[in-house]
Structure 1
């Protein structure tokens, strides 16, 4: 699933923009595909909040500088819709509705049989089951206003936005592409970034529930410097008790979504069979270690066995989401 805008295959750039950073990655057209080049820029607080653009002028100025620095002028762009904007819902529709008629039907049902917490959604769907009378769909939706703000920003800077994706699907695409997925698996992707967390449970390759939430972030509590390959390196210098509280909050939310899945969504009351952790949080390994102590379910950290090399050196783990997004262009 991806929110398609229009089609182009001309030297695609993959952008991941969140509350604290801008990252780009260009795919190397090899077999298997790899990363050609990448880069990142830290965003000051207050420009984007909970995925919504707050200061469009400042973001435009920073992005324009990035475009020049990274030499990606006039390129086609795929981008990630911020997790905080995305909703996944299971809906049931009459079986006679054909796929080419589905979007029109769903638009008509918005506000009556289908309720979303925002008007004018930007959405796509994925077909699940069909019993002859009805069929179940997964509806992926986001507020059109906020998604188009990103697309229009790119266009104003002479980039060509061609598609938008969501982070759980991009991460699962990479996970599957690395040959790590198992059949009939109940997997929860735990994506922990510097300013937010996204939890998403997959049944086989289908995301069935997603829960994003924000993390407190104070830039003054972090020491930031450029690493050996010109990537940002952050080290926490604040009160360690505050970080412990953040970790505990993450574990509480994780238990909540696991209980909800166990007793509400899964008809057979099944538990997840594996945790897959990823994200750009500098203390991710410490979280992995703590989860291995707390949970009996296997805990894996998404990583590449062989480091990818491109024009800018070895690809950091912060770019795994960008790489998963880029793999969408590989058919």
Structure 2
């Protein structure tokens, strides 16, 4: 399953951009997942907002500096479509639609029988089940305009975009590659970053529902330390109560999505079997501890062995999962 826009090739730079950072990984080997090189750059507020490029000139200048600093000129690029831009939706189509007709059928039905919150989408789909009357699909869609702004920007900097992906799939790809995937589990992934949270529930390897939301971020309340030799360090200097309220909101959203999945999507057949955390928020550990107190379901954090040569910092794991795309 892929959210494909372009044909893919080898020796690709794997780029993740969000509202507060640019990160990349170049894969050296897949077993165990080892990086040839990696890097990251902090993005000041206002350049990317809610996943959309807000200041194209500034982003182009910063990316140009990164390309020179990281020595990735004229390379092929995979990138992650920001979580706030795409949606996952279950749709049903008539069973007589053939596989080679499916893309065309979906394209014609988008905006009429299949409603999306944006026009002119770029999309992919995944077959769930089929009976005599209907075919059930998962539809992955994003506004073509905003996705292509990223692709066009990379092209303008003499990079070659060859594939786009979505973060839940990149996260699950790494999880599965490390040998943790279980086709019988209902995995609840939580990507908890400095400026956003993305919640996604997987049935086996299939993401069936996702909820992204943006976190309030005031640069005056944070101390940011950037060092090319080490991961970006975020330290909160504001009022502690602000974070407490923020954490409580996140936990409430988690509970709401659990209920939606259990009573609406799953019809009370099965519950969540595991929570999996990943992210760069400095208080991630505190939220994990609180989750363990509130839920009986196992709570884990996706980590690599930091002693392994070539092991990337934990805040670059999403880039590493992207790098494993189409690795056998």
Give the TM interval when normalised to the shorter protein. over 0.9
CA distance in 2, matches of 1:162, 1:106: 24
Contact 2:247 2:287 in 1 (8 A): yes
Tell me whether 1:40 sits opposite 2:40 in the alignment: yes
* 1:113 shift after superposition: 1.2
CA 1:308–1:58 in structure 2 vs 1: closer, same or farther (change >3 Å)? farther
Q: Secondary structure at the match of 1:3?
A: coil
User: Which digits, 9 at most, give the CA deviation of each residue in 1:69-105, with x for residues without a partner?
Assistant: 0000000000000000110000111222222221110
Q: Which moved more, 1:164-173 or 1:228-237?
A: 228-237
The two structures, once aligned, show a CA RMSD in angstroms of: 1.4
Contact 2:306 2:313 in 1 (8 A): no
CA distance in 2, matches of 1:171, 1:307: 21
CA distance in 2, matches of 1:67, 1:228: 14
CA distance in 1, matches of 2:32, 2:292: 32
Aligned partner of 2:105 in structure 1 is 105
CA 1:60–1:294 in structure 2 vs 1: closer, same or farther (change >3 Å)? same
Tell me whether 1:299 sits opposite 2:299 in the alignment: yes
Q: Secondary structure at the match of 1:161?
A: strand
CA 1:307–1:83 in structure 2 vs 1: closer, same or farther (change >3 Å)? farther
CA distance in 1, matches of 2:162, 2:21: 21
CA 1:230–1:202 in structure 2 vs 1: closer, same or farther (change >3 Å)? same
* 1:4 shift after superposition: 2.2
CA 1:260–1:105 in structure 2 vs 1: closer, same or farther (change >3 Å)? same
Aligned partner of 1:320 in structure 2 is 317
Tell me whether 1:161 sits opposite 2:161 in the alignment: yes
Q: TM-score when scaled to structure 2? A: 0.96
Unmatched runs of 5 consecutive residues or more in structure 2: none
CA distance in 2, matches of 1:183, 1:307: 30
Contact 2:173 2:321 in 1 (8 A): yes
Q: How does 1:76-95 map to 2 (within 5 A)?
A: 76-95=76-95
Q: Which runs of structure 1 show a deviation greater than 6 angstroms over 4 or more consecutive aligned residues?
A: none
CA 1:6–1:228 in structure 2 vs 1: closer, same or farther (change >3 Å)? closer
Aligned partner of 1:20 in structure 2 is 20
Aligned residues: 328
CA distance in 1, matches of 2:10, 2:204: 32
Q: How does 1:118-137 map to 2 (within 5 A)?
A: 118-137=118-137
Aligned partner of 1:178 in structure 2 is 178
Unmatched runs of 5 consecutive residues or more in structure 1: none
Tell me whether 1:225 sits opposite 2:222 in the alignment: no
Contact 1:2 1:163 in 2 (8 A): no
Aligned partner of 2:206 in structure 1 is 206
User: Which digits, 9 at most, give the CA deviation of each residue in 1:107-130, with x for residues without a partner?
Assistant: 111122100000100100000101
